[in-house]
């Protein structure tokens, strides 16, 4: 029997910074869709330095699969570097009220 897990079952939080050709190629929209399909919580945003920043929260297997997917990104993207670190629960406070996963303004 397979149980569907929610992002709060085994909370693991990862904070990632993705560099390369990741803006203007649908990376944020792709990330939002991929995270929601995986039932992850968190957010994604562009940064003024050209990178994309994201936070993913959920069970460890699903979060790691999402981070791995981010190393490829959507078809038009070119990921040159992905930095990953343990995230803190306070990062999830940036999500918009009522949203599991938010696309945030550029910072």
Whole-structure pTM value:
0.89
Which among 19, 21, 93 has a CA at the least distance from the CA of 55? 93
Task: Identify the pLDDT of residue 3.
Answer: 38
Residue 41 near residue 31 (C-beta atoms within 8 A): no
- Total Cβ atoms within 10 A of residue 42: 28
Q: What is the structure's pLDDT at 6?
A: 43
Q: Say what the pLDDT of residue 11 is.
A: 84
**Annotated catalytic, 21?**
no
pLDDT, residue 4, reads 41
Q: Quick one: pLDDT at residue 7?
A: 42
Q: Which of 28, 38, 45, 100 is catalytic?
A: 28
Tens digit of each residue's pLDDT, the chain (107 residues): 333 444 445 589 999 999 999 999 999 999 999 999 999 999 999 999 999 999 999 999 999 999 999 999 999 999 999 999 999 999 999 999 999 999 999 99
Q: Which of 3, 5, 7, 32 is nearest to 87 (CA)?
A: 7
Residue of 14, 38, 45, 46 marked active site: 46
Asked about 48 being catalytic, the answer comes back as no
């Amino acid at each position: 029997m397979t149980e569907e897990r929610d992002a709060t079952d085994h909370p693991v939080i990862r904070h990632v910074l993705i560099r390369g050709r990741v803006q203007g190629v649908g990376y944020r929209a792709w990330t939002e869709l991929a995270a929601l399909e995986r039932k992850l919580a968190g957010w994604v945003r562009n940064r003024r330095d050209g990178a994309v920043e994201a936070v993913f929260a959920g069970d460890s297997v699903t979060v790691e699969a999402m981070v791995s997917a981010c190393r490829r990104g959507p078809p038009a993207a070119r990921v040159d570097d992905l930095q990953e670190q343990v995230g803190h629960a306070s990062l999830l406070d940036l999500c918009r009220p009522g949203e599991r996963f938010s696309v945030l303004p550029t910072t």
